[in-house]
Amino acid sequence: MAPENDLTAEILRNALCVAAEEASIVVVRSAYSTFIVEGADAAAAILDADGRLVAHSLSTALIQCASLRSALPHVLKAHPAAAMRPGDVFVLNDVYQGGIHANDLLVFRPVFVDGAPAYFTGTLIHVADLSGLSAGGMASDATDVYLEGLQLPPVRVATAAGLVDDLVRVLAANSRTPDKLVGDLRALIAGANVAARRLEEIIAEHTPAGLARGVAGYLAHTERRMRAGLAALPAGTHRGEYTLDDGHTVRVAVTADGAGALVVDFDGTDEQVPLPVNSGFSQTHGGVMYAVRCFVDPDLPMNEGCFAPVEVRMPPGTLVHCTPPFPGGGRFGTVAAAEEAIFAALTEAGGGVAASGILQAFSISGARRPWLHMSFDLGGTGARADHDGADATGALFGGGRNIIPQAEPIEARLPVRVEEVALIPGSGGAGRHRGGLGTRTVIRMLEDARVDTRGDRLHRPPPGAAGGAPGRAGGYHRQRADGTREPLGSKATRQPLAVGEALVVETSGGGGYGDPADRDPAAVRRDRAEGRTA
Amino acid sequence: MSATADGTADGAPDVTEGNASGVTLASDVGGTFTDVVLIGTDGQVRVAKTLTTPDDPTTGLLRGVEQVLASSGVAPGEVGRFVHATTLATNVILERTGVPVAFVTTEGFGSMLALGRQARVEEERYDLAYEQPDPPVPHTHTFTVPERVAADGQVLAPLDETAAARVADDIAALRVAAVAICLLHSYVNPEHEERLAAIIRARLPESVPVVTSASVWPELGEYERATTTLMSAYVGPVMASYLDRLGGRLRDLGVTAPVHVMESAGGVLPAALAAARAVYTIESGPAAGVIAAARQGARRGLADLISFDMGGTTAKAGLVRGGRPGVTHEFQVGGKGSFGGRRPGTGVPIKIPAIDLAEVGSGGGSIAWVDAGTLRVGPRSAGADPGPACYGRGGELPTVTDANLVLGYLDPDGFGELRLSPERAEAAIAEHVAGPLGVPVVEAAAAVHDIANAQMGAAIHVVTVRRGIDPRGFTLVALGGAAPTHVVRLAERFGIGRVLVPPQAGVGSAVGLLHADLAIERARTFLAPVGELVSCSVGRDRLGELADVLADLERAALVDLAVDRAEVSRSVGIRFTGQAHAFTVELPAGPITPGVVRGAAEEFYKRYHESYGIDLRDPAELTTARVRAVLPSGSRDTPRAEPAPDVAGARRVWLDGAFREVPVRARGGIAPGETLTGPCVLTEPQCSLLVPPGWRGTADDHGALLLESGTWPQKTT
């Protein structure tokens, strides 16, 4: 028979996770951006007043929750807890204060115990549009942060009396799709409110002291398990690096003490660049947590207990920690490079890992009237020492494929037609184990439009490991009405696509592992029968 | 009987529910036992429990029907209705024993099933060892045809009939047993799907069903529509041939009543429809248990319940809050999170409404074994054949049932047609558990019982604790042959202080079927802005369209049920224009007027505000038209217990580390209002109720027992 307090603690833990999950669902259901509502990608988290991550929503990309965690201390710095009032809601997007880039809005709401903020609920989505060079916030020629969009330090966006109308008017005035932007903002606030309401119910049921005790126990228990997992890593300093398409390199040294502590140091990483290639510290930190967690028990809950044993050193002014006024919007290439570098460091004894194709973003916007389709496709993952890579999944971003909208809802909403979404035969790198396949998506314009692209691992496709071949390089193309194709570039900005022309997005395949000559003949035959090889 | 692609019932006999006020037969085929119950014109319930015959489940079922007809003295021709719950569809999908299926979609989308939506769950996305699951249909069985329909239904490219014929020939060469078709935007214009189905059908044997997505789930979202259609095609032929055989054998016996099959949301379908839309029966059996629990609870004024249904092979738990069973609208086949799997993003989605429940592959027949010095129970089950050792039917391995017999919880005179052998049970436990572990037999048996309780607990855990719901305020309801033996111990594990044991608990799911309403839901995507529908200039046409769609759906639903009239409720999905999630709002009866649409929009605004705290009056749009047709079951009264002579006795029962002599009573002999005090054992033909020390119970005039712990009510914090 389970001891009574164990059961209570477990109910409490689950109630916290359910509250975060519910907040995420509320945001998705009440948001307006197609990208969010059909792709179901909203992050939500519960934190305490010390900025510790207590629980987060599971259905979303993990590194977003790390950004919520990184940003909260900056909110508290700008708005001391003593100055907060029940009903206050804060918003920010500042990449130097834990944000990501202009379009990713982070919203926080304090939850009061005995008259003071004791917990915070937070939500985060990529909103439709918030100014900047290109609609959707994807301009790859934004040489500084101001060209990425409107900058928001932590500011109060709502009080118990409702929205702060003056601020909302400024936001709306800076959006190409003001109605959708305000709708998305309301959705973020609704999500934070719902989680706050659940938290208040939990406090009422378990008492403030009971909740505090439960949270402390939960985080401590997670930390013990995390340390036990990290203690199994080979002691010593391990080095790894990964080079982006433009030649810039992320370098990392991972030092394990063999007793459960880890230092991840990006000293030696190339300097930041005046283009949206860099990452803000919060997204890099999220990527580090993702990569490190691949080496511990995958069932561990994601909370402060996972963060505590890992010290992350991100030298300011480098690719992994941009400083003013360097932009941070193109961070996923850099974050994915940081992740691969950590994989390389921690697997150096075992022959390394084959690299994966990554998320390749694009946005299509109306040339004559405001409409926006922002989405991304996913590359194949690298093969592993004992199995083939997975086809087209968002491994390094910590998400899955369901962040990609289906064709029918896109066509029901926007003046485009999706003509093809297909795996590319032969795109997985050859090896004893084959890399996962990339995809091809063809989207035909029904109105004149402009397109922005943002990809990486296209000029330097994901390398294989232990003798495996790299995956096939993907790319972005314009397909003319007569069928001819021309490359658009991996960081194209506002390229015209006339009615009748199509955008072709091809993602890179994952690298192979081991000598292709050693591949099991049965696997070779199966690949051919299933159309995985040409 | 054949499964037709448009989902209509062909050859279904006339259903005249008036007859149902006569005799109703209900049966629930589980992995180990087949339960058959009969309710007569006098409201008396008769019960038969037979061993399931896995090779042909109709054999055990027919034996039960014969027994129950004989014991009640009812002639086969007097039976007005036969209601059936079967785990066939679930088993077929979980064990991947469905028929080979070919899948056809629009050119350009041949990777649809392989790509899926794959919302990787938490523990999988960290995992460098993640391996992608195989797609539900191999690439070699996936075909595409040139054709294209736009989102507004307009044909952009006609169906290439030459290519379609070539695909049909290729499919014919594969010798598949079913074909699933999902073309883009068929939910708004199904012409291409229907034409393609006709072309393919013409080249295949008549026995091969060709199922179109618009007939199964005509809603926007190509991937979920495809997988739902696919699973229907995969299971349909197996279900059709089974129901065909069942109908034939019932007729041979003289039972000519229509056969109804329980669907996952708690209604029942005519047999022909159950075959054509087989995915709707996926949770057929388990749903019956939750419905029964809700009904039993309602009679005692209990609205918050956990149904606990434990049979020989599996156990299920479902949650009833405020009197209503939880319903999900997406079921994950092969998913994680529980046996059967429901966690979003962990399997192949099927878009059907289903009673929300958790299942563990462990029951009375689960085999106990020692694995490197550790005692394990399951997941292998002795099932009905050879069955537990104590059945003496050739089973040599010890099961949970054997342990319960050794502990004195079960009556050796057994269940129904079986006598149980304590000697065989002891011998099996001694050889396979106690010996290897070096412990006395009774202690080994007690450990097996405890481990089984822990496994049952996992199912309850999933529907309560895992969702942050405290189970301690709920009443646990015991259903199924093995449940009464474990239910109170299980309650103790969670600190639950109240347990309800309905009359005929051992066949509880089958009893639940007696009261299931004949029901079907039909829906279709209907996209239209509210503003357009209520404006006087353009609204008339679109309003007329909505009225036509609803009328079509209603007609189709009545054809599904093979009736002329039914209780029809109509509803629409409404959302803010630009959002994805819609609320379902009921429409009043009568003509569809601008006022009706305006009223629905007002209701939507109100519910949106309540749900999200956002008071918004932005433009809204209709997304779906939906019709549910219900023919209420004739039998309204909850059955009374069969009167039985009270055989008071005593037996040595293992309780908390020692054998104690405890009173044994026949369940049927408990008088209404009588109070019982634990420890005691109550036996009835299908099960045995263990009331441990510290619990007391009272019987009501229908024979339901409400047990309460001595510490109840307790504080939960």
Per residue in B75-125, pLDDT (tens digit) is 999 998 899 988 788 777 766 778 899 999 999 999 999 998 766 666 677
Confidence of residue B520 (pLDDT cuts 50, 70, 90): confident
B427, β-bridge pairs: none
ipTM entry: 0.93
CB contact under 8 A, A29 and B117: no
**In the predicted model, what is the mean pLDDT of residues A477-493?**
94
Confidence of residue A327 (pLDDT cuts 50, 70, 90): very high
Residue B579 contacts A where some CB pair is shorter than 8 Å: yes
Q: Which two tokens stand for residue A406?
A: 């289906």
**How far is it, in rounded angstroms, from Cα A499 to Cα A478?**
12
Q: Which amino acid is at B151?
A: A
**How far is it, in rounded angstroms, from Cα B545 to Cα B529?**
13
Q: Which of A32, A40, A393 sits opposite B118 (nearest CB)?
A: A393
pLDDT of residue B251: 95
Of the ranges A153-157, B115-119, B513-517, B706-710, which one carries the lowest mean pLDDT score?
A: B115-119
Terminus-to-terminus CA distance in chain A, angstroms?
58
Average pLDDT, chain A: 93
DSSP H helical segments within A113-177, as ranges?
Answer: 165-173
pLDDT of residue B15: 36
pLDDT at A222 over 90: yes
The values of phi and psi at residue A459, to 5°, are -85, -30
pLDDT at A459 over 90: yes
pLDDT at B699 over 60: yes
Cis peptide before A325, with omega less than 30 degrees from 0?
Answer: yes
Residue environment code for B502-523, b if the CB has 16+ CB neighbours within 10 A, otherwise e: bbbbbbbbbbbbbbbbbbbbbb
User: Best-predicted range by mean pLDDT among A132-136, A168-172, B115-119?
Assistant: A168-172
Residues 591-630 of B with CB under 8 A from A: 608, 611-614, 616, 618
Q: β-pairing, B518-529 with B620-631?
A: antiparallel
User: Nearest 5 degrees, angle CA B486-CA B491-CA B493?
Assistant: 95
Q: Which of B130, B139, B151 sits opposite A530 (nearest CB)?
A: B139
**In the predicted model, what is the mean pLDDT of residues B386-408?**
94
What counts of helices (H) and strands (E) characterise chain A? 11, 20
Average pLDDT, chain B: 86
Q: What share of chain B is helix, strand, coil (3-state, %, to 5)?
A: 35, 25, 35
pLDDT of residue B14: 35
CA distance A1 to chain B (A): 5
User: Best-predicted range by mean pLDDT among A261-270, B365-374, B668-677?
Assistant: A261-270
CB contact under 8 A, A28 and B581: yes
Contact B697, B706 (CB under 8 A): yes
Structural domains present in chain B: 17-92+240-281 (3.30.420.40), 98-118+131-235 (3.40.50), 284-362+453-514 (3.30.420.40), 373-452 (no CATH), 518-631 (3.30.1490), 650-696 (no CATH)
**How far is it, in rounded angstroms, from Cα B478 to Cα B499?**
7
Contact B103, B142 (CB under 8 A): yes
Residue A213 contacts B where some CB pair is shorter than 8 Å: no
**How far is it, in rounded angstroms, from Cα A495 to Cα A269?**
32
**A528 contacts: CB under 8 Å, gap ≥ 6:** none
Confidence of residue B523 (pLDDT cuts 50, 70, 90): confident
CB count, 10 Å around CB of B711? 12
CB contact under 8 A, B468 and A16: yes
Select the more confidently predicted residue: B2 or A488. Answer: A488
**Strand, coil or helix: what is B93?**
helix
Contact B322, B344 (CB under 8 A): no
**How far is it, in rounded angstroms, from Cα A478 to Cα A444?**
10
CB contact under 8 A, B222 and A422: no
**Strand, coil or helix: what is B486?**
helix
Q: Which amino acid is at A184?
A: D
- What torsion, rounded to 10 degrees, do the Cα atoms B392, B393, B396, B400 define? -70
pLDDT of residue B116: 85
pLDDT at B342 over 80: no
CB contact under 8 A, A26 and B612: yes
**In the predicted model, what is the mean pLDDT of residues A203-210?**
93
Q: Which two tokens stand for residue A510?
A: 């994952």
Of the ranges A246-255, A414-423, B630-639, which one carries the lowest mean pLDDT score?
A: B630-639
Give me the sign of the Cα torsion angle B320, B322, B325, B326: negative
CB count, 10 Å around CB of B99? 17
Residues 456-475 of B with CB under 8 A from A: 465-470
CA distance A144 to chain B (A): 32
**How far is it, in rounded angstroms, from Cα B276 to Cα B8?**
8
The values of phi and psi at residue A521, to 5°, are -55, -35
**A83 contacts: CB under 8 Å, gap ≥ 6:** none
pLDDT at A106 over 60: yes
Give CA separation, B580 vs A107, B221, B336, B614, in Å. Answer: 22, 11, 26, 16
Q: Which two tokens stand for residue B502?
A: 């309905």
The values of phi and psi at residue B534, to 5°, are -100, -5
pLDDT of residue B7: 33
Select the more confidently predicted residue: B560 or B106. Answer: B106
Residue A157 contacts B where some CB pair is shorter than 8 Å: no
Residue of A5, A16, A30 to mutate when probing chain B, most B C-beta within 10 A: A30
Residue B580 contacts A where some CB pair is shorter than 8 Å: yes
Rounded percentage of chain B residues whose pLDDT exceeds 90: 48
Q: Which two tokens stand for residue A232?
A: 């199994």
The residue with tokens 């979303």 is A60
Q: What share of chain A is helix, strand, coil (3-state, %, to 5)?
A: 35, 25, 45
Residue B139 contacts A where some CB pair is shorter than 8 Å: yes
Q: Which two tokens stand for residue A386?
A: 């004992």
Residues 66-95 of B with CB under 8 A from A: none
Q: Which two tokens stand for residue A428?
A: 């997985």
pLDDT at B483 over 50: yes
Residue of B nearest to A5 (CA): B717
CB contact under 8 A, B109 and A420: yes
Residue A294 contacts B where some CB pair is shorter than 8 Å: yes
Q: How many CB pairs under 8 A join A and B?
A: 189
Residues 369-428 of B with CB under 8 A from A: none
**Strand, coil or helix: what is A392?**
coil
**How far is it, in rounded angstroms, from Cα B434 to Cα B428?**
9
pLDDT of residue B19: 39
Rg, Å, chain A Cα set:
23
**How far is it, in rounded angstroms, from Cα A312 to Cα A279?**
14
**How far is it, in rounded angstroms, from Cα B263 to Cα B271?**
11
**How far is it, in rounded angstroms, from Cα B630 to Cα B268?**
9
Select the more confidently predicted residue: B18 or B23. Answer: B23
Give CA separation, A186 vs A22, A179, A189, A421, in Å. Answer: 16, 11, 5, 33
Residue of A4, A12, A28, A58 to mutate when probing chain B, most B C-beta within 10 A: A58
Secondary element (H or E) of residue B235? helix B222-253
DSSP H helical segments within B579-693, as ranges?
Answer: 594-612
Q: Which of B131, B468, B717 sits opposite A210 (nearest CB)?
A: B717
Confidence of residue B4 (pLDDT cuts 50, 70, 90): very low
CB contact under 8 A, B118 and A29: no
Select the more confidently predicted residue: B413 or B302. Answer: B302
pLDDT at B713 over 60: no
- Chain A positions touching B120 (Cβ under 8 A) are 393-394, 399-400
